[in-house]
Amino acid sequence: MRILCLVPGGIGDQILFFPTLSDLQQFYPNAEIDVVVEPRSKSAYRVCKSVHDVILYDFKAQNSLADLGNLLGILRDREYEIVLSLGQRWGVGLLLWLTGIPNRIGYAGGGGEWFLTQPVPLKTEQYAAQMYHDLLQGLEINTPCPELTVSVPKKDIEWVEAEQKRLGVPGSGYVLIHGGSSELAREKGIDKIYPVGNWVKIIQSFQQRQPELPLVVVRGPDDDAFVQSLVNILPNLKIAKPDDIGKLAALIAGASLMLCTDSAPMHLSVAVQTYTLALFGPTDPQKLLPTDTSLPEALRGRFVGIKSPTNKIGDIPPEKILEQVWGG
């Protein structure tokens, strides 16, 4: 049996879809599950064991008929029995219909609903992972949404152990800061970058109040300018540069606290159950972080979002963040 999932979006969207994939694997243990994702998101599946194959297709690009025909040929050849789609556009619905897959599940209300065999109500007011998990209702799977989890390769854990020794930090107990943003978010003008000057105030507060507590700043592939600006002011900062999502997840797992903006690393932090304090500009924390009521008691209060009063992330006062850290 083969199952296909169309998951447009970035790495964060893929991680939020992991619980749905996990339940699919549990209910169909002998099935091969493939995903169609944008090229920028392929790396997410380094930390997901539920997927057999990753097929690349740029949903947002100006694709030619040849591109579409190539994808359609791949999907028809594999003879999938079920497809789940996050995409609601008319074109996506038509693609699903053209594949000939008999069970086509997606959200009701979009332009592609006419091509679905089992439309599912779209409830955008809830946590995104739960919203994605609702697609399983089209298969009469009505279980609660599982927690986010990732599977980190052993060699990535070993890399982090060596990196911790290089930085002179313990295997656990350091504070991790990820303040950057993806290049795509910057190109689209999405407000996810907290000002360097504010980060400096936060770091200096840690250095004054707990000078023995190690702080580590993550330098992702798009964070060079952000990290260099910090280092110009605080030259003794410890900088880690994981080169893939597995190493980043293992680095976050070793931290006692993750300070970050609304980003894919935030979702990784939730998945590895590190205490997380995330900053939000225009986006809604309730849709991107699990609520305490959905979590087991041991995890309640572990994932906290601070929303800007003006929808501009730079308008969050550093003092408000530090109050949350130090308990007022």
Residues 59-89 have pLDDT tens digits of 877 777 888 899 999 999 999 999 999 988 8
Lowest mean pLDDT among 16-25, 42-51, 219-228, 248-257: 219-228
Q: Does domain 2-139 have CATH number 3.40.50.2000?
A: yes
* Of 291, 274, 269, nearest in space to 130 by CA: 291
- Sign of the C-alpha dihedral computed for residues 169, 170, 173 and 177 taken in this order: positive
Give the pLDDT confidence score for residue 328 in this predicted structure.
59
What is the percentage of the chain residues whose pLDDT exceeds 90? Answer: 83
User: What is the residue-averaged pLDDT of the chain?
Assistant: 93
Dist. CA 150–CA 160, nearest whole Å: 16
Residue 181 has pLDDT above 70, yes or no: no
pLDDT tens digits for range 184-232: 566 666 667 899 999 999 999 999 999 999 999 999 888 999 999 999 9
* Of 217, 221, 20, nearest in space to 132 by CA: 20
- Sign of the C-alpha dihedral computed for residues 109, 264, 187 and 53 taken in this order: negative
What does the domain layout of the chain look like in residue ranges? 2-139, 154-326
Confidence of residue 171 (pLDDT cuts 50, 70, 90): confident
Mean pLDDT over residues 20-38, rounded? Answer: 97
Longest dimension (CA), the chain: 63
pLDDT tens digits for range 315-328: 999 999 999 999 85
Tally of CA atoms within 13 A in the half-sphere of 105 that contains its CB: 22
| 264-271 vs 245-253: helix crossing angle, rounded to 10 | 50
Give the pLDDT confidence score for residue 187 in this predicted structure.
63
Dist. CA 315–CA 313, nearest whole Å: 5
In sequence order, the 6+-apart residues with CB closer than 8 A to the CB of 257 are 175, 176, 274, 275, 276, 277, 325
Mean pLDDT over residues 37-57, rounded? Answer: 96
Mean pLDDT over residues 254-272, rounded? Answer: 96
Dist. CA 1–CA 81, nearest whole Å: 7
The string over 304-316, giving b where at least 16 C-beta atoms fall within 10 Å of a residue's C-beta and e elsewhere, is: ebbbbeeeebeeb
Give the pLDDT confidence score for residue 321 in this predicted structure.
96
Confidence of residue 35 (pLDDT cuts 50, 70, 90): very high
Helices (H), strands (E): how many in the chain? 12, 12
Which tokens go with 171?
């295997």
Residue 182 has pLDDT above 60, yes or no: no
Q: If one looks up domain 154-326 in CATH, what number appears?
A: 3.40.50.2000
Give the pLDDT confidence score for residue 145 in this predicted structure.
96
Mean pLDDT over residues 173-182, rounded? Answer: 85
What is the percentage of the chain residues whose pLDDT exceeds 70? Answer: 96
- Name the pTM for this structure: 0.94
Give the pLDDT confidence score for residue 62 in this predicted structure.
76
The domains spanning 2-139 and 154-326 adopt the same CATH topology: yes
In sequence order, the 6+-apart residues with CB closer than 8 A to the CB of 101 are 4, 75, 80, 81, 82, 83
